[in-house]
């Protein structure tokens, strides 16, 4: 039996007794009872410490006992229902507590905000975690669970693998960098910037030499970015380059690559432009964001200022199809000025 429930029932009984009309209890007796207070017994002890005031009328004692028994019966029925079917009971309580939410509506976690309209406008302008509210010193349960879900998605994106079916559908053969273990790849970025000896041999055997544009793909730090966006970006980019009459060379996929791996590719194939489609470092807003790095005639020793990037390619950022078409126009500009990065900005001016 629940001791807290018994104490609460006892308090209610005493309050009811003290609030009875003066015809049943005199003012003097009520005052004495109020000053005397309530004595509760030790529920875990075998000895009986229960105290009953014999001065109270028998009718009042009997009615209080009946009320207590009814409350206990209701509690036991409720508890038995929860134990017999806890899932249905919990779902029923949640449905009673929560109001229906309209499709696409963004719910604030702040209860009774000072300016509800302004808060809703701010929340509609950004996917960041604002207006999440709190429960005491801690985040609300829904907020915390959403955070844990997004964090797990980011970890899965880093440690996951790209779907081989997607690579086969796009006719991309696979090569590796100098690192094959994911833990080493994370700790040693320099290993991901160099192609393995086997990869160099395969690229020289299978790829066209000196193409105008060389397209390469890598999982980087998000395999989910490749799975979710690569096909749309790649096909749109391919169509854009063909419309401009530009030779694409032989595209391929580099597993566990970093951005500067394009320098090794530039040394081997001598293309005019290298474009690398690579998974971005995942965040708590999106774990599927793709970046496209471009460089004019990349070689060993190329500095980062000579590279340029179009980032945030995903369904919540730059739409993949639009990004592919836009990259085609950027490549044409790079070829026109024979420069990329800071050098391209200077020549355009």
In this prediction, residue 78 carries a pLDDT of 55
pTM of the model: 0.65
Tell me, letter by letter, the H, E, C secondary structure of the chain: CCHHHHHHHHHHHHHHHHCCCCCCCCHHHHHHHHHHCCCCCCCCCCCCCCCCCCCCCHHHHHHHHHHHHHHHHHHHHHHHHHHHCHHHHHHHHHHHHCCCCCCCCCCCCCCCCCCHHHHHHHHHHCCCCCCCCCECCECCHHHHHHHHHHHHHHHHHHHCCCCHHHHHHCCCEEEEECCCCHHHHHHCHHHHHCECHHHHHHHHHHCCCCCCEEEEEECCCCHHHHHHHHHHHHHHHHHHHHHCCCCCCCCEEEECCCCCHHHHHHHHHCCCEEEEEEECCCCCCCCCCEEEEEEECCCCCCCHHHEEEEEEECCCCECHHHHHHHHHHHHHHHHHHCCCCHHHHHHHC
pLDDT digits (tens), the chain, 349 positions: 566 767 777 777 777 766 665 444 444 444 444 444 444 444 444 444 444 444 444 444 445 445 555 555 555 555 555 555 554 444 444 444 445 444 345 667 788 888 888 888 888 888 788 888 888 888 888 888 888 888 888 888 888 889 999 999 999 999 999 998 889 999 999 999 999 999 999 999 999 999 999 999 999 999 999 999 999 999 999 999 999 999 888 999 999 999 999 999 999 999 999 999 999 988 877 889 999 999 999 999 999 999 999 999 998 899 999 999 999 999 999 999 999 999 999 988 8
């Amino acid at each position: 039996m629940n001791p807290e429930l018994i104490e609460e029932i006892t308090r209610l009984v005493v309050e009811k007794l003290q609030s009875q009309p003066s015809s049943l209890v005199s003012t003097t007796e009520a005052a004495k009872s109020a000053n005397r207070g309530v004595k509760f017994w030790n529920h875990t002890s075998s000895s009986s410490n229960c105290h009953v005031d014999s001065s109270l009328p028998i009718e009042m004692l009997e009615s209080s006992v009946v009320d207590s028994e009814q409350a206990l019966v209701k509690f036991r029925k409720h508890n038995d229902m929860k134990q017999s079917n806890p899932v249905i009971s919990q779902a029923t309580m949640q449905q009673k507590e929560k109001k229906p939410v309209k499709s696409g509506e963004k719910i604030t976690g702040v209860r009774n905000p000072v300016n509800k309209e302004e808060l809703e406008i701010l929340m509609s302008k950004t996917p960041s975690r604002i207006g999440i509210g709190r429960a005491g010193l801690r985040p609300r349960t829904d907020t915390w669970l959403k955070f844990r879900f997004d964090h797990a998605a980011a970890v899965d994106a880093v440690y996951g693998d790209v779907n081989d079916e997607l690579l086969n559908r796009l006719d991309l053969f696979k090569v590796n960098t100098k690192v094959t273990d994911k833990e080493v790849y994370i700790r040693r970025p320099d290993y991901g910037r160099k192609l393995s000896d086997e990869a160099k041999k395969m690229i020289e055997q299978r790829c066209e030499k000196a193409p105008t544009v060389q397209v390469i793909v890598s999982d980087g730090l998000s395999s989910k970015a490749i799975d979710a966006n690569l096909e749309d970006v790649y096909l749109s980019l391919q169509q854009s380059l063909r419309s401009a009459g530009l030779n694409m060379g032989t595209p391929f996929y580099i597993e566990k690559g970093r951005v500067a791996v394009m320098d090794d590719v530039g040394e081997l194939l001598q293309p005019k432009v290298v474009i690398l489609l690579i998974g971005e470092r995942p965040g708590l807003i999106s774990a599927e964001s793709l970046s496209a790095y471009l460089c004019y005639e990349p070689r060993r020793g190329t500095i980062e200022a000579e590279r340029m990037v179009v980032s945030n390619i995903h369904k919540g950022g730059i739409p993949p199809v639009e990004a592919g078409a836009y990259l085609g126009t950027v490549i044409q500009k790079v070829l026109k000025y024979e420069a990329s990065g800071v050098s391209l900005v200077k020549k355009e001016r």
